[in-house]
């Protein structure tokens, strides 16, 4: 299905039992926002809360690593989601901060009927559409099946192989300052800079002032200006694998012919290990 749906599309289907809204809002502690409290203040009617931290690997020392298929299936079934449902993920950040991570995780676990709500909760509110307070009403457990699609995820050895042999472009979704190593990382103990040879496409640059995704042609221009060829394979990264998914989403909207993979450990792993190479400064000049 289309990776983006409009607020009008979702509003027309609020009473369809197989179209399920998922509030995937998540924030770094420094943001000073409480995603759970905001959900209880008002969410899209019928939406369930997708807890990104809970839907991560509890055994990993790294944040937001993919859980096992069994854990993901159990959590989604517990939310009342099933294999026949069309999932619409949204967040309240205004910049597609975390909804694309939920979108990507559903796809990684073999559920293709998933999209991101263009403009998120901000667009929904501005249009005066209905909101529902409190916790969602209990639903019977769903029957959600999860099978890992390894083509959509990469680990550190796979990224090292890209540095050695090529085969894919590396795209970093962090801010330009974090990419260059001139801005501190929000997590302590990480080196500054980026994976050698990466291109910089800050995830905030992919949306307009209303929080909606740029049009496909504008995305293609932005991506090419960053030195990325959307016709070639891409692996995205960020701080902890969350906003990397926003770049993956944008590339799909832009019409990339191949599925985009995400480096799940991202900078928290790469920048926290002394045995992995790092570059600082702006991106290398694009080749001919």
User: Are the C-beta atoms of 52 and 26 separated by less than 8 Å?
Assistant: yes
Residue 149, Cβ density class (10 Å: 0-12 exposed, 13-18 middle, ≥19 buried): middle
**CA–CA dist 218, 241 (Å, integer):** 24
User: Are the C-beta atoms of 25 and 91 separated by less than 8 Å?
Assistant: yes
**CA–CA dist 170, 156 (Å, integer):** 12
Question: Facing residues of 19 across strands?
Answer: 86
CA 248 to chain centre: 7
Question: Facing residues of 187 across strands?
Answer: none
Active-site residue list: 238
């Amino acid at each position: 299905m289309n990776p983006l749906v409009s607020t009008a599309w979702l509003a027309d289907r609020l009473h369809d039992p197989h179209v399920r809204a998922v509030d995937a809002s998540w924030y770094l502690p420094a943001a000073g926002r409480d995603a759970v409290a905001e959900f209880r203040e008002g969410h899209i009617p019928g939406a369930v809360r997708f807890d990104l931290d809970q839907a991560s690997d509890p055994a990993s020392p790294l944040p937001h690593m993919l859980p096992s298929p069994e854990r993901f299936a159990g959590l989604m079934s517990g939310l009342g989601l099933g294999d026949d449902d069309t999932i619409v993920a949204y967040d309240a950040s205004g910049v597609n901060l975390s909804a694309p991570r939920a979108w990507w995780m559903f796809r990684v676990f073999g559920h293709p009927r998933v999209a991101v709500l263009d403009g998120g909760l901000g667009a929904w509110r501005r249009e005066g559409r209905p909101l529902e307070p409190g916790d969602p009403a209990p639903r019977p457990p769903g029957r959600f099946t999860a099978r890992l699609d390894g083509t959509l995820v990469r680990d550190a050895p796979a990224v090292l192989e890209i540095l050695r042999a090529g085969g894919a472009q590396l795209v970093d979704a962090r801010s330009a300052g974090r990419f260059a190593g001139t801005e501190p990382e929000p997590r302590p103990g990480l080196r500054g800079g980026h994976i050698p040879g990466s291109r910089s496409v800050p995830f905030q640059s992919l949306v307009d002032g209303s929080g909606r995704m740029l049009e496909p042609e504008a995305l293609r221009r932005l991506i090419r200006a960053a030195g990325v060829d959307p016709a070639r394979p891409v692996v995205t990264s960020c701080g902890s694998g969350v906003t990397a998914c926003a770049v993956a989403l944008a590339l799909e909207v832009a019409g990339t012919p191949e599925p985009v993979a995400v480096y799940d450990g991202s900078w928290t792993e790469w920048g926290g290990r002394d045995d992995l190479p790092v570059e600082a400064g702006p991106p290398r000049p694009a080749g001919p």
